[in-house]
Structure 1
Amino acid sequence: MNPTVQLFKSESFFQNNLKLFVNRCSEDFVVPFHAHEFVEYSYVAEGKGFHHIGEDIIPVHKGMLFVNPVGVPHVFRPATANVSEHPLIIYNCLFNSELIHTLSIMIQEAEIRNHLTDLEKNQIPYVSILDYSQRMEELMVKLYRESAIPRIGSSTILYTLVSQLVVTTYRHIYQATCNEKENTTDMEHILHYLDQHVNERIRLSELVNISGWSERHIGRMFVTHTGRTFGAYLQHLRIQKSCELLKNSQHKISFIAELVGYRDVDSFYAVFKRITGETPQGYRRNFRAEP
């Protein structure tokens, strides 16, 4: 990616009193990597390609919506140079600070008004949302059609549609945040359960029962929250507990293996050596030799 960033100015797009610009375009390799003086909502309507935004390169497909704050550089690129047969079609809705002020009068909720202000002042990162319900596509199409052929009352309709787009997008962001907090809380419950039952034979099916998640989802959550698979996390937890017992107790190693959930001492030795690089006896001896 060329590090040079071209600035797109407001006067090139907002040549009417609406301070709103909506278009539908086929992306190419000509438009430069650029930043804006305005907020941009971009919806992928057709095709596949890549969104170069900030320092990220994101594969894109139909149904993806991006909210780009003021000043964040980006550009869309199609997946192939044969854009006539495989176009990447994007709907864009652009608006500047003046329209943000107008929308802030229309929108009642303070948190959504603050969200718009943060976009205007480049105080939050870009937003990426998948439009499962196709509600955002519907709003983008209506915005494009109403702006393409202005009629009596078009200004009111366009402002209403933009407000709906902003609110609908914010609902997705808010719900995703709530889901993440809920998932984090539930995951902490699972990790606490493992910590308290490390001496038992634990299967994923038991975690399904205490969490209500599927085994597949639990597996994903372990990687997301711990950086390890369920099996790897459990092994590391057991070895961590065994290290504490080796340091702070006089128990036999075979008994320690049972206390941390190993019924087979040979398996315990093998996992302990693989994770710590030492045998259990060597670990205990080296710890006690330290001043």
Structure 2
Amino acid sequence: MGEHKTHKKTVISRFKLSKTPMTKLEKNNMLWIYLFLFPSILVFVSFYLFPIITVVTTSFTTWDGINSPKWVGLSNYSWLFHNEAFIMSMKNLLFWSLLSAIPHVAFGVLIALILFKKPFGGNFVKSVFMIPNIISVAAWAIIYKFIFNNDFGILNRIIRIFNPGFKANWFFESPYAFWAVTLTWLFYGVIVTLIVLNDLNAIPREIGEAAKIDGASGWQVLRNIYLPLCRISIGTSIILAITSRVGMYEAIALTTRGGPGNDTMSLSLILVKLIMDMKYGSANVIGMVMLIIGIAILLLINKLFRMNESVY
């Protein structure tokens, strides 16, 4: 009973201490903190918060970007969800998201694990693996147009060694176009590799060595120690990979332009087309959809990978 009272007094005293007013020095420190935060807050409000509010409000209007917006309620949303190109773009986004989250990220993690072992020629592999990210997306798309060309593309030439009669206009025929666009990014996970490799290098070597001394195999150390300790970097990589697919534009616009039909249509292509047609209200509906998808992905991956919890 006495111990309970003592504990209760301790809790109360701590609560009272926490309610004590700030000293002059603490107030001065808080003033400097807010002063240094002010530029970042100003930039956020000007370039992020205000545009987001504009997107939300004008998505319920017809607006040409010049005249005042006119309220139309849910008409823009009704039009969008009955639009064939939008429905196809959402299906494509679903497939691309799955491909981004599983084989794309897995390949990047695999390369990171190999480089972590510091194999012979590892620095050369790292340099070569960086090349696609040094080249702009636009230039990379043009390169792939030549690689997948039916007449002189290297891919069809290799296939014709085994199948002389093979013909495929990869970017212009269904179902080849979807996979041609996908291959322009699927196996280039250098960002994933760098993020995960940095996390692997931060893990104390003593942990893996202790597990091996206890009899754990290399696979067991990888599965039960390294990968769990890298869950935050892997989760971050998945978020980056999927959101890149949400905003994917150049690779499609410079190859298939969303065709054939709507086989490779994306939200970004619809968004840009609506802007070019000066239909800003309808374009902002696409912006709202992309914003909601991005937030949903962030919340889902945070939950699945427990990214707010410490790994140690």
- TM-score, reference length from structure 2: 0.24
* Richer in strand (by share): 1
Larger RCO (CA under 8 A, 6+ residues apart): 2
* Richer in helix (by share): 2
- TM-score, reference length from structure 1: 0.25
